[in-house]
């Protein structure tokens, strides 16, 4: 498996987690 594919997969996972965390934080602040 190419290294770029691994990095892309990991960064996509972090982006998803960060997006969920950001939405949760926004919901609690309201």
Q: Which residue reads 């691994």 in tokens?
A: 6
The pLDDT, as a whole number, for residue 30 is 59
Q: Is 2 helix (H, G, I), strand (E, B) or coil?
A: coil
Q: Which two tokens mark 8?
A: 């892309």
Determine the pLDDT at residue 21.
72
Q: Please, which residues have CB within 8 angstroms of residue 5's CB and are 6 or more apart in sequence?
A: none
Q: What is the C-alpha to C-alpha distance for residues 25 and 23, in angstroms, rounded to an integer? A: 5
- pTM (whole model) above 0.85: no
pLDDT of residue 1: 63
C-alpha 14/C-alpha 30 separation (Å) is 25
What's the CA gap between 1 and 29, in Å, rounded?
42
pLDDT tens digits for range 1-30:
688 888 888 888 787 877 777 777 667 665
How high is the pLDDT of residue 15? 74
């Amino acid at each position: 498996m190419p290294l770029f594919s691994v990095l892309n997969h990991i960064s996509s996972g972090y982006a998803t987690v960060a997006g969920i965390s950001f939405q949760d934080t926004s919901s609690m602040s309201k």
